[in-house]
Amino acid sequence: MTVAAMSIACSGPAPAPDTEQSPASSSDGAFGPAAAGRKYLVERVDEAAIVQLYADGFAALPVKERILTWHLYQAAIAGRDIFYDQRYAHNLDMRDVVEALISHPAGEAPVRAEIERYTKLFWANSGPYNNLTARKFVLTCTPEQFASAVHAAAEKGATFPLRPGETIDQMLTRLKPMFFDASFDPSVTTKTPASGRDILASSANNLYSGVTAKELEGFDEKYPLNSRVVKVDGRIVEEVYRVGGRYDPQIRDIITHLEAAIPYAPDPTAQALRALIGWYRTGEERDRRAYDIAWVADTSSSIDTINGFTEVYLDARGMKGAWEALVYYVNRTKTAAIQKLASEAQWFEDHMPWDRQYCKENVQGVTANIIDVVIETGDAGPITPIGINLPNEQEVREKYGSKSVSIANVNEAYDRSMDAGYRSEFSWSPEETARAKQWQGAAHELATDLHEVIGHASGRLNHNLLGCTPQTHLKEQYSALEEARADLVALYFLPDPKIVEMGLIRPEDHREVALAEYENYARTALVQLRRMREGTTIEEDHMRNRQMIVNWLIANTKAIERRVRDGKAYNVVVDAGAFREGVGRLLAEVQRIKSNGDYAAAKALFERHGIHFDPKLRDEIVARVEKLNLPSYTAFIQPRLEPVRAADGAVRDVTISYPQDLTAQMLEYSKATRATREEFRRSAAGPVQGR
């Protein structure tokens, strides 16, 4: 998966709407003129940009596909609270408190404004932890001011998540450290804790309770992806995410909407949805695998969904899947180029710079599409990926293939809402700035496609590792290593003559396009430091991967120079040939590490080049970015679907609108899941269910 961060794993212009993609061209006006009066950037909240997402092709879909999308959209909302609970055990109570205050504003204006600021950041990040740095943020009003607002809201009719017999003041005391103490549960995911500390004990997420990574070394996890591991009466237990297990109310609600979708789905999609329901019912690995295979086999349907426990970035061990949902339609007019890459997957596999023993001899079923998303929830929204390649299981990839998507309307929304000032501020020369302005969008889009379609789908494991996942061996290093591998594949092949031969770039532009992406990648390793306002380590896997690659190239090649001018640092690409040669060498080593599960080598690579940074350099970057008033990350307001019902209540059509209001959307989503949330609270208070 790729996330937005001004590099391969970031936003970049897509082809102009409603035109078939042609060879890469200037990024100026890459999306054509914006619709008259259309607003993308809705507001800024501290470091966050709040941006409206549009799905222009939805209205042109056949009615049956619009109704299918509606039911899948409902399933995406139904599971949203699962991720909130996975991310932090206190998240749902905290969210109910601040949403009650937003719905019943009371008290002094400055206090109301602070509560609104905090709540919008809470929504954007799905809890009180920055999505990219993993660090906790807190309210800046006093506990007394907050308590006064809560009591005033209660007098206006607000209800709060009180436990049996609990008073409002007791609830406030219980939640006080979560809202106000940055040192209490300070990091949601900690893969590099202080010396001697355990990665699970140092992580505030709710994927484990009462257990350490050391204790799990000898524990046989039957449900490695879809369970919470806890210690009960001295015994380690898996609370399985399934009907009758953890998140039973939410999962049953998801199933209801998936079942409602099946009559409107073409047969391959219906088969995949039935398989997904089967996995939700049993939680068993065999049913998860059956779903992955059925989903990969659905290659031609216009409407698709990702719904389930998928990516493992939240888990310090890199094992537990965070719940997410996306619903999308294929943008047929923009898909030609990415499908060209998929059709040539075997050529790329045969020309990888790594040892031949790690190459697939027969690449299977690589499917690629450009899509527009209609909704993204859980781990996928409001902060969203721009590209996805699934399934994650290596054996399924090798035997049955994978599906890659590049999300066009998210790319466009980023492009329309972003200030380009960072290009000139962090470019060494006017020529670099001009190159970025002209080519960065097209270069980045192609690099993202290479990352998803070729990068993640490539390579194979050593035969000694077959039957187990790379995560088992690579542990907390796996996700960053895999993202680095996919980035390196993209960087390696972008300047290859094959790209011109395929008609993806004009020959006269090829050198400039590749150089623009190399320069962008080198700049990003500096610019991303603005996100780590505290500490001296990087926790987020995509940022670790970029830092590692650039620092390794600086240390081991003559491709990039760190220069200083007027007290400002720059990463300057001085030799594009050396850049590609170094990328090839590093890629060969990264693939060797993955294929053999070489944990020690992975840890050494990231410890030396990808995790630690100079806080003085970070402070310099932050000062430069603040002068430009650039956001550190973007959260999206999703399109809103609404059913058109007949007299008998049946859905006859679906309309789409664009709220331009984060608060209204978040409150609407929470209202829709209130009943299952209350049922979950009651069930979670009972005996542990698991094995």
Token pair in block for residue 457: 């789908």
Q: How many residues does the chain have?
A: 691
Q: Is 51 helix (H, G, I), strand (E, B) or coil?
A: strand
Within a domain: 233: no
Which portions of the chain are predicted below pLDDT 70? 1-36, 420, 466-467, 685-691
Per the domain annotation, does 605 fall within a domain?
Answer: yes
Q: What is the pLDDT of residue 451?
A: 94
Decide if 443 is inside a domain: yes
pLDDT of residue 464: 75
How many DSSP H helices and E strands does the chain contain? 26, 16
Containing structural domain, residue 369: 2-14+40-61+302-419+428-629
Q: What is the pLDDT of residue 27?
A: 44
At 394-413, the pLDDT tens digits run 889 888 999 999 999 998 99
Give the separation between CA 154 and CA 157, rounded to whole angstroms. 5
Q: Is residue 244 part of a domain?
A: no
| Four-residue CA torsion sign, 415, 121, 326, 286 | positive
pTM: 0.88
Whole-angstrom distance, CA of residue 438 vs CA of residue 419:
15
CA angle 607, 611, 612 (to 5 degrees): 95
Let me know: does 138 contact 180? Beta carbons within 8 Å: yes
Partnered with residue 651 across adjacent β-strands are: 645
SS (H, E, C) 257-303: HHHHHHHHCCHHHHHHHHHHHHHHHHCCHHHHHHHHHHHHHCCCCCE
- What is the pLDDT, as a whole number, of residue 506? 96
- 639 in any annotated domain: no
Tokens of 619: 């402070």
Phi, psi of 460 (to 5 degrees): -140, 165
State the average pLDDT for the chain. Answer: 92
pLDDT of residue 105: 95
Look at strands 303-311 and 235-240 and give their pairing: unpaired
Domain membership of residue 22 (yes or no) is no
pLDDT computed for residue 420 by the predictor = 67
**Total tally of structural domains belonging to the chain:** 1
**319 three-state secondary structure:** coil
- For 14-49, what is each residue's pLDDT tens digit? 322 222 334 554 544 455 566 667 999 999 999 999
CB atoms within 10 A of CB 502: 16
In this structure, is residue 615 part of a structural domain?
yes
Q: What is the pLDDT of residue 21?
A: 35
